[in-house]
Chains A and B, each alone.
Chain A
Amino acid sequence: MIEFRGVTKQFPDGTLAVDDFTLVIPSRQFIVFVGSSGCGKTTILRMINRMVDPTSGQILIDGDDIAKTDAVKLRRSIGYVMQQSGLLPHRKVVDNVSTVPRLKGVAKAKARDDAMALLKTVGLDRALADRYPAQLSGGQQQRVGVARALAVDPNILLMDEPFGAVDPLVRAELQTEIMRLQRELDKTVVFVTHDIDEAFLLGDHVVIFQKGGKIAQQGTPAEILANPANDFVAEFIGADRGKRRLTVSDEKSADGDLVLLDGFGHPAGVMASSGAPIKASGVKSRSVSNKTDQAGDA
């Protein structure tokens, strides 16, 4: 459990990035911070591993005040994935993944074996292990970044706009992958994005930020969609523009699916007549984008 108690951050230049922020993140939840740039969401994320120290207030992990812990030790116990993967360009993929275990004193051979297993976990071919990051596609680099974050088997995974710089197809694939990993590995994930669709797709719990680290609304995606707390949220999630309000058109597909239209009358999707096909289509799109990702490397 991660707990923010009245956390404030004022930067030396006087900017008040976060003002009296309080939030409890339960364990093993996928929580998404979403908001436009400069709203303080990244600052708040970076406070969890003490990359930023609050000016006042407390942050507790499982009841312990992190200000009293050793920052380096704390960071080694928390997985961190950032936008440009942040891989060490001078180390091979396998060495990047085993970096933190090696820092913690794990023997080289064991760290390497573990890293090879992790590459498999994140869906990367063993053959990539001895390449340098620059020789990988953007999607593959992000997977290595995730593998590196998982290498110390952390309870907490921090992800700072990790899929912001990859193309939409690869992004969809990585999103599916991270949801699968979270289901399998049962971590607490704190995920920062400015993309509300990504937030609703991934989050068990979504926190929408306004400027100054103020929470505009938090809840499950369904709660937020059903009852936007104010005009800011309504605009942010696109409800005010009718993007989220779908109506059924007169047209029907051959197997009886209903075509849905958004508030502008643009087709937004189809509503299946039976619930079954959703899963099948998910698998299909994954294999398609998988090919794209590999192709970028070949």
Chain B
Amino acid sequence: MQWVWTNFDTIWGLTLAHVGLSVIPIVVGFVLSIPLGYAASRSKVARSVLLTAGGILYTIPSLALFVAIPVIIGGAILDPRNVVIALTIYAVAIMVRTAADAFASVPADVQDSATAIGFSGVQRFFAVDLPLAGPVLLAGIRVVSVSTVSLLSIGAIIGVSNLGSLFTDGFQRNFYTEIWTGLVCILLVALVFDVVLVVIARILMPWNRRSSARSVRAHARRAALS
């Protein structure tokens, strides 16, 4: 424990680096997967192409991808951007499938009636399809968030500083306190991200909050009665 306090500044710095490096892939992956997922939900061909591509991308081992990216984009091996790009690819690979399912989950009769009362295609996408896909998109982005935060630690092996550096350093020195510290910090970052996502979703999807609060209350009432 003493070690943690004496090295608090280092750990805090690594935590901030970890947050910074994982936020970008999560946000960019989410934004990219929206149009791709929507396309996949609209046509069978697009769906099979995009989901297969996503599946293949996800099977590439992360270390290999971290090393391959600089070769492909022509940057330096130690550039943290390599890791950010690789993690974005993973995020999209996971998220496209969920986004496709999310858009497919929008009730067809609601879409139909929205068109029938005079929403144009673009208006319907932003005012109807996107918000109604929200709950499933949320489920997907929570998975992406956790997976990105933990995958990032592998970047430490190729020298990109983040909380994973506590693992590499701890292993080399056979110093378990450091490894445990890294593990707990990564879990905390993942947890904070998850809470932030859920709070954002509650603010953006008030109708969902009410109906789920209602069903929770109904459950409680049934439980109390039985």
- The 0/1 profile, CB within 8 Å of A marked 1, for residues 94-117 of chain B is 000000000000010110111111
On chain B, the residues within 8 Å of A82 by CB distance are: 109, 112-113, 116
On chain B, the residues within 8 Å of A104 by CB distance are: 118
In chain B, positions 132-191 with a C-beta closer than 8 Å to chain A are 132, 134
In chain A, positions 62-83 with a C-beta closer than 8 Å to chain B are 72-73, 75-76, 80, 82-83
On chain B, the residues within 8 Å of A99 by CB distance are: 117
On chain B, the residues within 8 Å of A90 by CB distance are: 131-132, 134, 205, 207-208
Interface centre among B113, B115, B128, B134 (most CB of A within 10 A): B113
A134 within 8 Å of B by Cβ? Answer: yes
A276 within 8 Å of B by Cβ? Answer: no
Nearest Cβ in chain B — how far from A252, in angstroms?
50
Q: Is the interface of B mostly helix, strand, loop or mixed?
A: helix
Closest B residue to A133 by beta carbon equals B207
On chain B, the residues within 8 Å of A87 by CB distance are: 110, 113
- The 0/1 profile, CB within 8 Å of B marked 1, for residues 87-102 of chain A is 1111100000001100
Number of interface residues of A (CB under 8 A): 27
On chain A, the residues within 8 Å of B208 by CB distance are: 90
Contact A72/B112 with A132-B210, A134-B211, A135-B210 known, Cβ cut-off 8 Å: no
* Residue in B110, B118, B127, B131 whose beta carbon sits within 8 Å of that of A75 in the complex: B118
Report the separation of the CA atoms of residues A148 and B117 in the bound assembly, to the nearest whole angstrom. Answer: 9
B125 within 8 Å of A by Cβ? Answer: no
* Residue in A80, A132, A134, A135 whose beta carbon sits within 8 Å of that of B113 in the complex: A80
A49 within 8 Å of B by Cβ? Answer: yes
* Residue in A73, A83, A89, A149 whose beta carbon sits within 8 Å of that of B110 in the complex: A89
Report the separation of the CA atoms of residues A99 and B110 in the bound assembly, to the nearest whole angstrom. Answer: 13
B119 within 8 Å of A by Cβ? Answer: yes
Report the separation of the CA atoms of residues A135 and B214 in the bound assembly, to the nearest whole angstrom. Answer: 9
A107 within 8 Å of B by Cβ? Answer: no
A179 within 8 Å of B by Cβ? Answer: no
A229 within 8 Å of B by Cβ? Answer: no
B123 within 8 Å of A by Cβ? Answer: yes
Report the separation of the CA atoms of residues A148 and B113 in the bound assembly, to the nearest whole angstrom. Answer: 11
* Residue in B107, B118, B211 whose beta carbon sits within 8 Å of that of A72 in the complex: B118
Nearest Cβ in chain B — how far from A149, in angstroms?
8
Contact A86/B116 with A91-B207, A103-B123, A132-B211 known, Cβ cut-off 8 Å: yes
Report the separation of the CA atoms of residues A84 and B110 in the bound assembly, to the nearest whole angstrom. Answer: 9
B120 within 8 Å of A by Cβ? Answer: yes
On chain A, the residues within 8 Å of B207 by CB distance are: 89-91, 132, 134
Nearest Cβ in chain B — how far from A174, in angstroms?
18
On chain B, the residues within 8 Å of A49 by CB distance are: 116
Report the separation of the CA atoms of residues A122 and B196 in the bound assembly, to the nearest whole angstrom. Answer: 42
Nearest Cβ in chain B — how far from A111, in angstroms?
14
Nearest Cβ in chain A — how far from B71, in angstroms?
46
Report the separation of the CA atoms of residues A172 and B4 in the bound assembly, to the nearest whole angstrom. Answer: 73
Report the separation of the CA atoms of residues A13 and B48 in the bound assembly, to the nearest whole angstrom. Answer: 23
Nearest Cβ in chain B — how far from A13, in angstroms?
16
A181 within 8 Å of B by Cβ? Answer: no
Beta-carbon contact of B132 and A76 below 8 Å: no
Nearest Cβ in chain B — how far from A210, in angstroms?
26
- The 0/1 profile, CB within 8 Å of A marked 1, for residues 182-217 of chain B is 000000000000000000000001011011001000
Nearest Cβ in chain B — how far from A163, in angstroms?
16
Beta-carbon contact of A103 and B119 below 8 Å: yes
Contact A84/B109 with A90-B205, A90-B207, A132-B207 known, Cβ cut-off 8 Å: yes
Report the separation of the CA atoms of residues A247 and B80 in the bound assembly, to the nearest whole angstrom. Answer: 91
On chain A, the residues within 8 Å of B127 by CB distance are: 88
Closest A residue to B204 by beta carbon equals A90
On chain A, the residues within 8 Å of B132 by CB distance are: 89-90
On chain A, the residues within 8 Å of B118 by CB distance are: 72-73, 75-76, 100, 103-104
On chain B, the residues within 8 Å of A132 by CB distance are: 207, 210-211
On chain A, the residues within 8 Å of B210 by CB distance are: 132, 135
On chain A, the residues within 8 Å of B112 by CB distance are: 51, 82, 86
Nearest Cβ in chain A — how far from B52, in angstroms?
27
Nearest Cβ in chain A — how far from B66, in angstroms?
40
On chain A, the residues within 8 Å of B134 by CB distance are: 90
Q: Please, could you name 17 A-B residue pairs with CB atoms under 8 Å apart, sorted by A?
A: A46-B116, A75-B117, A75-B118, A82-B109, A82-B113, A83-B109, A88-B110, A89-B132, A89-B207, A90-B131, A90-B134, A90-B207, A103-B119, A132-B210, A135-B210, A135-B214, A149-B117
Give the 7 A-B residue pairs with the shortest CB-CB distance, closest first.
A86-B113, A76-B118, A75-B118, A90-B207, A80-B116, A132-B207, A72-B120
